[in-house]
Structure 1
């Protein structure tokens, strides 16, 4: 048996290529073709996973435990992709696609799937995972091939040449993913794994050309290629998520720094306006240093940034409250003075009111304003004016307040 090229895969056996990219509107013709292929692919993948699920029932309990986790993950990805397909078809609306719908189609195709409210994409080793629809489709292809191989259900198992072609395609996709990994230990490790897979692939092809039975060798190679491809896609998605997190963190730093500058100005205004004034340290956001690159360091940095934000909240509230209390005292004095001016007072009461108001004016003119003294004088001024303007009458030598009607006449 030779490793001749396999026929072109039937529609639905591999995920269709997504049109455009994020931010580029998807035209109606492209969307119609893509949605048709994606619909067939989703149906085929569900049938494949159902076949794997039925095959698992015939395995030993130990084998079932080993395969069930990956099957659950694959079904989770399938559900998320199927849900996104429903949204795409709803937006496409039979071809009624204007500029707004074209933008939405692009966002739904190339945006993150973990924004779905119904599903969380997850892998046992990495938890919640933010991937786009094309990435999720490639992952589901990889997971399905792995599950089929482990359950002895790989498509075309009788045709080694077809399986070899599929493995070769997986190796090439993995090679493409490898070029996206930044230089470092992770890239070196993945390169070594890929080189070993290449050598195993070469050996497998040579054995097949010589007519050897390679059926028992293809399965493990299919699994290893699919796992490496999946791991690289996961790593790429995590790097993209970390990059977005760094951008958001940098934006938050800029916003908090601008806010801190405004709060320092508020602090200076408060210290100049009242005494005693509150004294709270306004943190320096820039003292946290530059936004780190490593995910673990970035998480710790964001925690410190949240503490700085809470400290800024407290400083803002405290200094604003001090100025608000000054404004409250000034407003109270103005309102009481207006009430006294609108009421006919006895000469003695008018003299007392004038004296209290003079003391208040002197106190209110001071900078910084002695807030405790001003508050006490304002309270005394308010109480005196209230008593002096309240209607009174005398009965039996004692003063008594006369109730009035709504029209101001004695009742």
Structure 2
């Protein structure tokens, strides 16, 4: 099968991004990058359309279904990159780049880019490659490299490489992908996973060397290049996704530590409020105040961190409820004490209250005051006495005025 895919260069044509996160991007750098990225987007869209058409034309239904999620994710990647490109163009504003815009351009290029799976044609959500089940968070250059890797893999799986494509160009593309894999391996944490990935990298390098040597001797290496391109592209794709998950996990771990510190401080304060409430009123609420420290240290495993964040959310809700409940109980005591003072002032300032009525009110008022001064305050008695005292005050002072 031979199709014009729009991009005749080998995979790995991601535009070189200027600077790094936090380093302002000059107008000249931004112009070059936007020009290259715009051309890359146009060519990649043509290539994805050709890939999509080839997949739909595949005679084997099972092959079409197997390719669906990678094609869908590739479309989602293109859309996310295109949206970020439009934001870059707006910020660039035809070259009117001051210090603020230079910082914004750097952030838009190197900051987080969320890629939501979905091709816009149906409601279903495609699975991200290699176990990344939710939105993928990568920088713009990483998203472009991931798109290159996935497109290269799809082209090879669909046998869409142009027949006239020089072997040296394809080998060069594989070599560039291998070097990017090497860079990804160097950023992995030490451990068994890195050791295994290093061994896989060595095996890929050996296969590339063998293919190169065969080509130098004039042998036909077309049958070796396709499978190698598929494996290299898939490996690069998986490592980019894994790096994204590690970065996301690191951010989640930092967020979990911040939440634990904040929830621990809140919990200590609410337990103090709880102690005040238990000593101040009866019956007092009896809600447990969770201690977030009981959840232990922040784990290293990403799934365990997700589970911890969910538990921290529940702890936060429990603390909210405890805070509201104990504060409400203390607030009722304070409200009753304040209302007693207001009623006293109303009686004292009302000439309509007779001496006999004041004599009736005094024992009621004294009993209510004694109950409110008790430790703890019996709220049930206090409510009943307040209702009686307030009712009598209304009766003797409601001389054409609105009741209190």
Q: Under a length normalisation based on structure 2, what TM-score does the superposition of the two structures give?
A: 0.88
Worse overlay, 159-168 or 250-259: 159-168
Structure 2 Cα separation of the partners of residues 369 and 130 of structure 1? 56
2:72 is paired with a residue of what secondary structure? helix
Deviation of 1:116 after TM superposition, in Å, equals 7.8
Structure 2 Cα separation of the partners of residues 121 and 107 of structure 1? 28
Aligned length, in residue pairs? 386
One of 120, 123, 135 as aligned partner of 2:128? 123
Assess if the C-alpha contact under 8 Å between 1:178 and 1:191 holds in 2: yes
Deviation of 1:325 after TM superposition, in Å, equals 0.6
Instruction: Show the 5 A alignment for 1:159-174.
Output: 159-174=166-181
Structure 1 Cα separation of the partners of residues 93 and 156 of structure 2? 38
Instruction: Show the 5 A alignment for 1:319-398.
Output: 319-343=326-350, 344-391=352-399
Deviation of 1:201 after TM superposition, in Å, equals 1.0
Alignment partner, residue 4 of structure 2: none
Assess if the C-alpha contact under 8 Å between 2:177 and 2:233 holds in 1: yes
Structure 2 Cα separation of the partners of residues 77 and 236 of structure 1? 16
1:114 is paired with a residue of what secondary structure? strand
Q: Under a length normalisation based on structure 1, what TM-score does the superposition of the two structures give?
A: 0.87
Q: Does 1:255 align with 2:257?
A: no
Looking at CA atoms only, which structure, 1 or 2, has the larger radius of gyration?
1
Alignment partner, residue 264 of structure 1: 271
Assess if the C-alpha contact under 8 Å between 2:298 and 2:305 holds in 1: yes
Assess if the C-alpha contact under 8 Å between 2:290 and 2:315 holds in 1: yes
Assess if the C-alpha contact under 8 Å between 2:12 and 2:145 holds in 1: no
Alignment partner, residue 5 of structure 1: none
Q: Give per-residue Cα distances to partners, 1:85-127, cap 9 Å, x unaligned.
A: 0111011111122232222222211122218899899615422
Assess if the C-alpha contact under 8 Å between 2:282 and 2:377 holds in 1: yes
Alignment partner, residue 209 of structure 1: 216
Deviation of 1:77 after TM superposition, in Å, equals 0.7
Instruction: Show the 5 A alignment for 1:114-263.
Output: 114=114, 123-124=128-129, 125-128=131-134, 129-154=136-161, 157-263=164-270
Instruction: Show the 5 A alignment for 1:279-294.
Output: 279-294=286-301
Q: Give per-residue Cα distances to partners, 1:2-32, cap 9 Å, x unaligned.
A: xxxxxxx979971112122223322222211
Alignment partner, residue 18 of structure 2: 19
Distance change (3 Å), C-alpha of 1:278 and 1:59: closer
Worse overlay, 61-70 or 84-93: 61-70
Distance change (3 Å), C-alpha of 1:405 and 1:171: closer
Alignment partner, residue 401 of structure 1: none
Please give the root-mean-square deviation of Cα atoms over the aligned residues, in Å. 2.5
After TM superposition, what 4+ stretches of structure 1 lie above 6 angstroms from structure 2? 9-13, 115-121
Assess if the C-alpha contact under 8 Å between 1:11 and 1:37 holds in 2: no
Assess if the C-alpha contact under 8 Å between 1:12 and 1:42 holds in 2: no
Deviation of 1:41 after TM superposition, in Å, equals 1.0
Distance change (3 Å), C-alpha of 1:166 and 1:118: closer
Deviation of 1:320 after TM superposition, in Å, equals 0.2
Deviation of 1:179 after TM superposition, in Å, equals 1.1
Assess if the C-alpha contact under 8 Å between 1:157 and 1:163 holds in 2: no
Structure 2 Cα separation of the partners of residues 322 and 203 of structure 1? 79
Alignment partner, residue 110 of structure 1: 110
Assess if the C-alpha contact under 8 Å between 2:279 and 2:376 holds in 1: yes
Structure 2 Cα separation of the partners of residues 261 and 58 of structure 1? 65
Assess if the C-alpha contact under 8 Å between 1:363 and 1:374 holds in 2: yes
Assess if the C-alpha contact under 8 Å between 2:149 and 2:237 holds in 1: yes
Distance change (3 Å), C-alpha of 1:66 and 1:371: closer
Structure 2 Cα separation of the partners of residues 155 and 246 of structure 1? 46
Alignment partner, residue 318 of structure 1: 325
Gaps of 5+ in 2: 1-7, 120-124
2:347 is paired with a residue of what secondary structure? helix
Structure 1 Cα separation of the partners of residues 360 and 115 of structure 2? 69
Worse overlay, 50-59 or 302-311: 50-59
Structure 2 Cα separation of the partners of residues 121 and 31 of structure 1? 33
1:130 is paired with a residue of what secondary structure? strand
